[in-house]
Chain A
Amino acid sequence: MKQAAYKIALPLLFLALWYSISRFGHISPLILPDPESTVRALISLIQSGDLALNTYVSLKRSMGGFLLGSFLGVASGILIGWSHFWEDFFDLAINFVRAIPKTALAPLFIVWFGLGDSAKILLIAFSSYFFTVIPTIEGVKNVDSLYVKTARSMGANEFQIMTSVIMPAAMPAIFAGLRLTVTTALIVLVMVEIVAGNDGLGYLLQEARGNLDMAIMFATLFALGVLGYCLDAAMQYLGKKLMPWRKGKTLSM
């Protein structure tokens, strides 16, 4: 109980600061809306169904792209980390393309795939791929060779070593990568919706700017924050479920 109070202290402080600045700071609501109108805007977004609809659209795009990209990232990362043959084959290509900021590819993807969902999902998938493949490769390469030797000495074949040793041993590294990837999927999503959207949370932001409706903008930002937080929490939960052995293994006392 005491801990919960401690945890919300900082957010409450922010809220109080926001309230007093917007109330006593003589700042135009075109720059900074006050908390009440932001809450009112949020309620109106919820009641009209706009929030649910646009969140759904955004979630569909980001998750579609994330799942596609990270699946390919993990699968190929395991292969690349495991065999020198594939590592040398992919090394230059991956490191070169990885160096291009993925947002810079938005115009290209729009030209190639149009203004619809496919360009957005593919761009998110593309960036998700690179954010998962690197930690997966590292995770696989860092698997202690003693585990592999132990499994091999007990008669495991290469496929069994891959599934029963490499994958679980690399799982913590892969999961750390996936958690980061979810966050970056949202970044790319919002960017591409701002540039080329007619729905979605990024589009709501862009529309609010056009209408000079800062309360809607703040309400949407809040919704994006909630969405990102929930996705991260879901990933953490999944990580705990998939890696029960990590529970209670911590560096802090």
Chain B
Amino acid sequence: MNLEIEDLRKVIDNRKHSTVVLDEVQLRIGSGELVSIVGPSGCGKTTLLEIIAGLQSKTEGSILIDQVPIEKSSANRAIVFQQYALFPWLTVQKNIQYGPRIRGVNAPERNRISREYIEMVGLAGFESHYPHELSGGMQQRVALARALANDPDILLLDEPFAALDAQTKENCQQELLYLWEKTGITILFVTHDIGEALFLSDRVFLMTANPGTITECIDVDMARPRRHSVRLDPGFRMKEAQIRSFLYNGVRELGVDQSGGFPVRLAR
């Protein structure tokens, strides 16, 4: 499944003023690719994902999937939010079955699907638990399984691991790669974390704010399957430094002090 975004622009009008959230966004993702977008807070990453998912309208530009313009939201584009958004009134199993149920899949088939994905994300034995009875990492895996159970062509992930501790985060990243290799799905992954983006992706897009736009695309030509030890690799470290400098340069041009680590926001 190919995703092509040309000259995407998004303006949000409030009562008082209108904000250009996204401007001249270009993005191409090939079938089966795993690519990341890295950018500071507020640069429009969530907005971009929601527009691709069909949950927000665009102002200008085109979004094509396999050469066809997208219309409203559809089951072939799944999105997972940073806050998981599991339905608290449904058990793990029923949460995962939600998409198939909406599409009118019959009960035996639904059960087969949920069993498959519960197995895949390693949650066997937790089928009848409610979300509030699970840890953060487990909830994240349910959210992933729920998105995958709809058998989408592209998976849009919005900082899915941001709320997890370092170790759980690394496990989840490893599992995501495993799921991706197993399903062959196309993944667009949004994150703040440069290391995470490099570890997971074929390519990393850098985004800057005001207005939000994609400024760089960095190829990550490291062999797969990857393990966490590649993070110590000199090539990996160099790419990391390169991305960091791109983001800092953006800050320097805007005249903001660059000594304070990763910029929280590129204010103009």
Contact = CB atoms under 8 A, between A and B. Distances in A.
Contacts of A164: 98, 101-102
B85 A146 contact: yes
Contacts of B50: 149
A153 interface: yes
Given A146-B81, A149-B50, A155 B73 contact: yes
Given A160-B102, A164-B102, A245-B130, A153 B87 contact: no
Contacts of B101: 164
Contact of B55 (A144, A153, A155, A243): A153
B252 interface: no
Given A146-B81, A146-B83, A149-B50, A154 B102 contact: yes
Interface string B92-112: 000000110111000000000
B198 interface: no
B78 to A, nearest CB: 6
Given A146-B83, A164-B102, A245-B130, A153 B89 contact: no
B88 A154 contact: no
B85 A150 contact: yes
Interface of B: 50, 53-55, 73-75, 77-79, 81, 83, 85, 87-91, 98-99, 101-103, 130, 132-133, 146-147, 150
A214 interface: no
Interface stretch (A120-128, A129-137, A165-173, A174-182): A165-173
22 contacts: A147-B85, A149-B50, A149-B79, A149-B85, A150-B85, A151-B102, A153-B54, A153-B55, A153-B73, A153-B77, A154-B75, A154-B99, A154-B147, A155-B99, A165-B87, A168-B87, A169-B89, A171-B89, A245-B90, A248-B133, A249-B130, A249-B132
A53 interface: no
Interface residues of A, number: 21
B89 A245 contact: yes
Contacts of B74: 155
A156 interface: yes
A169 B87 CA distance: 8
Contacts of B132: 245, 249
A152 interface: yes
A154 B89 contact: no
B108 to A, nearest CB: 20
B154 to A, nearest CB: 11
Contacts of A243: 89
Nearest to B56: A149
Nearest to B55: A149
- List 10 A-B pairs, minimum CB-CB distance, nearest first: A155-B75, A146-B85, A168-B89, A154-B99, A150-B85, A245-B130, A153-B79, A156-B102, A245-B89, A153-B53
